[in-house]
Chains A and B, each alone.
Chain A
Amino acid sequence: MSDATTDEPLVLGIESSCDETGVAFVRGTTLVGDALASSVDEHARFGGVVPEVASRAHLESMIPMLERASAEAGHRLDDVDAIAVTSGPGLAGALMVGVASAKALALCLDKPLYGVNHLAAHVCADVLDHGPLPEPTVALLVSGGHTNLLVVRDIASDVEELGSTIDDAAGEAYDKVARVLGLPYPGGPHIDRAARDGDPEAIAFPRGLTSRKDMERHRFDYSFSGLKTAVVRWVEARERAGEPVPVADVAASFSHAVADVLTRKAVLACTELGISDLQIGGGVTANTQLRELAEKRCAEAGIRLRVPRIRLCTDNGAMVAALGSQMVMRGLPPSDLALPADSSLPVASVQA
């Protein structure tokens, strides 16, 4: 590969770690083509992602998404300088579809292959909206699958986990609370809508891992299982008493409890590490209260906040291509063609 292409490499990214099949083309830090197929509707009646259903959907969507992204980008597959793929963490059977497809492309097109970490890719998505990441930066990832607090010193090679959820991901708590409130799956958008008419201070739901003792042992970890149970108990007590459930107040108070603990610890991490940039990513970023509270607290603490547009916060191929592009630009060696799908790839392994 010549130096000219290393400046602004054209990278194809493939994402298949959960229920979205994403394929995108990125040139340097510019998104030029982006195709996404979701199997979310197929999981709705199960109340959560069913791995086998997700894997089947990835197989059916992979070729159409490659074709669509290619058409949208106005590039042939042959034009790319490298192929990037999420190799973990995620659902094993789902990851394998994307990894196998990426390897076949790398072999047939004779292009380098980069296996990338899904969590680091989430953080990297923001370069497509706001340009190069300030480094170091603290990153908070919140979705149906992850809740992680990271410190990013180099997006292509140095990401460290400060903390993560010790039980449910924040997004899972949204799904379960939505269910108890009779709202559809996935719960996030429905709770957000219901919460707009509610009082976030109406009910004092617990803030997980914020007691003094927990702040010693789990300073930057999260827990949403206790909160979820508290909401379920509260709602059921109302139902037993034959009283109406104030859905808007429950949604607003629950959502506020989540946003409070997420932003409190993220801002604390920035202050304690002396880092003045915070980036938030993942599907739960669409939540109004989380965005507003993050903006308010960051402004108070003098922290610059970066949040990519929501399309880039949920799982997609663009973030994978963006991270692959960073690796190519830094001249990092490609991954081996024997690259595995690693469902529990640690976040410190930015490249697999």
Chain B
Amino acid sequence: MLLAIDTATQAVTVAVHDGATVVAEQAHTDTRRHTELLTPTIRDVLREAGLRPRDLSAVAVGVGPGPFTGLRVGIVTARTMGLALGVPVHGVCSLDALAHATFAAGQTRRFLVATDARRKEVYWAAYDVTDEGVRRTDGPDVARPAELPGHLRGLPTAGRGTELYPEALPHALPQLDVSAGALATFVTGALRRGESLLEPQPLYLRRPDAVPQAERTPVTP
């Protein structure tokens, strides 16, 4: 039994996967209340699946990129659950999770994922589509949408970037936020194929914007 969570986009999303299928999934799209919503949502999803936390055998978490505060809530929750339950914790690039959902929904050609990075920027990555699934070819990175190269901006685009910057990213796909169900399906497949996943470490892509203190210069008269 795999629990999957993601807090890198506007959604707080949680799902349980039994190895064959997603057995329960819930999402809230209240971007400001990740701390409040995440654990109660996990409790509710487990209840819906008729499970107790101890029934879980692994936890998967989206590691971003995404707004830092929400991202950390998801990652620390996943890591703590791993410690408390004695189960492994796997990380997945949240943009990849969104790409897998886009592929699962029938996308057949190259596309872009662009999510809200605040400060007039998007987190983005580009994907090729093959028979087996998607493959990331560029990114993840952070940029002003209008400054992305034209060949990327012209691609069909999943993620809230299209909603926020329709002029720069005009070809909107319907997938806006990460779905934990899609993330869980991807992780289950990767584990079955023996592929390695990421450590549950945040993909910040930005440094903290703090300026080191200058030498003190006394005021002159």
Contact = CB atoms under 8 A, between A and B. Distances in A.
Most central of A63, A99, A108, A110 by chain B CB within 10 Å: A108
Contact of A341 (B35, B202, B209, B211): B35
B38 interface: yes
A93 B72 contact: yes
A77 to B, nearest CB: 6
A105 B219 contact: no
B77 A104 contact: yes
A115 B75 CA distance: 20
A155 interface: no
B77 A63 contact: no
B194 interface: no
B69 A96 contact: yes
B69 A105 contact: no
Contacts of A50: 208, 210
Interface stretch (B15-23, B81-89, B156-164): B81-89
A230 interface: no
Given A99-B35, A339-B36, A340-B33, A55 B85 contact: no
Given A59-B76, A93-B68, A96-B69, A52 B209 contact: yes
A100 B43 CA distance: 13
Contact of B76 (A45, A62, A67): A62
A103 B210 contact: no
Given A45-B212, A337-B39, A96 B72 contact: yes
B67 to A, nearest CB: 10
A338 interface: yes
Contact of A63 (B79, B208, B212): B79
Contact of A100 (B39, B216, B218): B39
B213 A47 contact: yes
B221 interface: yes
Contact of B213 (A46, A105, A340): A46
Contact of B210 (A53, A92, A239): A53
A234 to B, nearest CB: 12
A107 B220 contact: no
A77 B69 CA distance: 26
Contacts of A52: 68, 208-210
Nearest to B69: A93
A340 B36 contact: yes
A240 B220 CA distance: 7
Contacts, number: 113
B interface majority secondary structure? helix
A153 interface: no
Contacts of A63: 79-80, 83
Contact of A337 (B33, B40, B75): B40
Interface in B175-221: 202, 204, 208-213, 216, 218-221
Interface size class for chain A? 35 or more
B1 interface: no
Nearest to B37: A338
A109 interface: yes
Most central of B40, B84, B85 by chain A CB within 10 Å: B84
Nearest to A235: B218
Nearest to A103: B39
Nearest to B209: A52
Contact of A236 (B54, B209, B219): B219
Interface in B36-82: 36-40, 42-43, 52-54, 68-69, 72-73, 75-77, 79-81
B218 A239 contact: yes
B37 A92 contact: no
Contacts of A106: 39
A100 B74 CA distance: 8
Interface of A: 45-47, 50, 52-53, 55-56, 58-59, 62-63, 66-67, 77, 92-93, 96-97, 99-101, 103-110, 179-180, 182, 236, 239-240, 337-341
30 contacts: A46-B210, A46-B213, A50-B208, A52-B208, A53-B208, A53-B210, A55-B72, A56-B204, A62-B76, A62-B79, A77-B84, A93-B68, A93-B69, A100-B39, A101-B76, A101-B77, A103-B39, A104-B39, A104-B42, A104-B77, A105-B84, A106-B39, A107-B53, A107-B81, A108-B81, A110-B52, A182-B216, A240-B218, A338-B37, A341-B35
Which 10 residue pairs across A and B have the least CB separation, nearest first? A52-B208, A108-B84, A104-B80, A103-B39, A47-B213, A50-B210, A108-B53, A101-B80, A100-B73, A45-B212
Given A101-B76, A108-B54, 7 more contacts: A45-B212, A56-B72, A56-B204, A100-B38, A101-B77, A104-B80, A337-B39
